[in-house]
Amino acid sequence: MVTVRREKDSMGAIEVPADKLWGAQTQRSLEHFRISTEKMPVSLIHALALTKRAAAKVNQDLGLLAAEKASAIIQAADEVLAGKHADEFPLAIWQTGSGTQSNMNINEVLANRASEILGGVRGMERKVHPNDDVNKSQSSNDVFPTAMHVAALLALREHLIPQLSALTDTLRDKSHAFADIVKIGRTHLQDATPLTLGQEISGWVAMLEHNLRHIEHSLPHVAELALGGTSVGTGLNTHPEYARRVAEELATITAAPFVTAPNKFEALATCDALVQAHGALKGLATSLMKIANDVRWLASGPRCGIGEIAIPENEPGSSIMPGKVNPTQCEAVTMLCCQVMGNDVAINMGGASGNFELNVYRPMVIHNFLQTVRLLADGMESFNKHCASGIAPNRERITQLLNESLMLVTALNTHIGYDKAAEIAKKAHKEGLTLKASAVALGYLSDAEFDAWVRPELMVGSMTPGR
């Protein structure tokens, strides 16, 4: 039988497991929102702990919170940040849209733990109050969006951007290494004029470089913090210096460029910063999906596909076909990109659906945002390590397909005109001839002229990948 204690809130008394640090409001949420399995992300819980830590420090500095209480709250928050008390945060994503219940969850846990640090007990006789002390100068309406932004920015900075940069570097190296390999180009999934393999991959590199810039451009808005706006953005019940100083404190303890939001009404009423940042992440997913698809097409085969590149063989690909190996890293990337695109729709809907002074889709928005960051960061790391770094050209196959392409006839346009060049290509295709044999048979040019004018290495232009 579970031992319980009785706690009270404004709704009355409720039984709480005696061994838990949470209190009445967390318990009510547990009982009322038994929905699915998605819990508040650990990184968001840590962001809430950082927010409470910063608030306690600033409230102490402003003379609003006793030093011993502030010190105990800070110590309790540091324990959460160190990974302790992880099972004290059991609440579902699917709760109040303001995140109030998770704000009270962290308030109750820190209050009870701080009370123990001060020699007191958890429960109604605690020495630190969850609202009056831990939540001092705050509202769930400014705490939760602040924690969302802290968690989002740190996840982007510490996880996604490093993996994006690493993958970009790998592909840039491949582009330079393959700069002299002339291959056939393809448009509409049909043969086109030549380019180098390095040029082709340089396009992927440029895509990722643009994506990095788009993500970085979204960060200043994400760095704006709602804390200090309290319930509707007016800053009711806060010290005039509180908003600025608490943002500075968060910037100090995270080494991130957080600032107080210049307009707290926007900060509380919208999720625009995360909507826009996630739009950049969706753009990255779009690019990654194109790159992964190109890689698996170019590596298709091994004997009956394009087969111009080889990729690492990581695991058996079939339970029935012996020796089959599949482009599994590409498949994983394309699947997670689909999920990111779905997350973007949900985030857009959540961002668009807030009313008046408060957006009430916040738990869903941050859940999807952080899932996207994790998927993209982990996906890029895996794709880089197990696929992109091992891309190698199949020079024999590249040369074979290049020489068989009818689109090399494009080099003759400026010598004999489009119509005659088209006639050469069509005759060659219909009769199974080489372009040279077709051109000579039609009497449009000699062997020597064909060899002088149709040179694939001279058809790739001067557009070389930049270093």
Check the annotation: does 405 bind a ligand.
no
* Residue among 369, 153, 350, 186 at smallest CA distance from 259: 153
Is residue 100 part of an annotated ligand binding site? yes
318: annotated active-site residue: yes
Query: Is 194 a known ligand-binding residue?
Result: no
How far is Cα 196 from Cα 182, in angstroms, rounded to an integer? 4
Task: Establish whether 326 is an annotated binding residue.
Answer: yes
355 phi and psi angles, rounded to 5 deg: -120, 135
- What single letter denotes the amino acid at residue 422? A
3-state secondary structure of 433: coil
In this structure, are residues 277 and 86 in contact, taking their beta carbons and an 8 Å threshold? no
The HSE-up count of residue 118 (CA atoms within 13 Å, CB side) is 23
User: Which of 10, 36, 188, 462 is an active site residue?
Assistant: 188
Catalytic residue among 32, 318, 353, 446: 318
- The length of the chain in residues reads 467
Q: Which amino acid is at 304?
A: C
Are the C-beta atoms of residues 454 and 411 closer than 8 Å to each other?
A: yes
In our burial notation (b when 16+ CB lie closer than 10 A, e otherwise), range 312-329 reads beeeeeeeeeeeebebbb
**Is 137 known to sit in a ligand binding site?**
no
Q: Is 9 helix (H, G, I), strand (E, B) or coil?
A: strand
Write b or e for each residue in 143-181: b if 16 or more Cβ atoms lie within 10 A of its Cβ, otherwise e. Answer: bbbbbbbbbbbbbbbebbbebbebbbebbbebbbebbeb
Q: 324 labelled as ligand-binding?
A: yes
Q: Is 139 annotated as a binding residue?
A: yes
SS3 content of the chain, % helix, strand, coil (to 5): 60, 10, 30
Closest CA relative to residue 354, chosen from 98, 139, 147, 99: 98
230 is in an annotated binding site: no
Q: Is 325 annotated as a binding residue?
A: yes
Q: Find out whether 63 is annotated in a ligand binding site.
A: no
Residue 140 assigned ligand-binding role: yes
Distance CA 331, CA 101 (A): 38
Angle (nearest 5°) at CA 125 between 119 and 126? 50
Q: Which two tokens stand for residue 260?
A: 């107080």
Q: 389 among the known binding-site residues?
A: no
Binding residues: 98-100, 129-132, 139-141, 187, 319, 324-326
By annotation, the residues acting in catalysis are: 188, 318
Binding residues for substrate: 98-100, 129-132, 139-141, 187, 319, 324-326
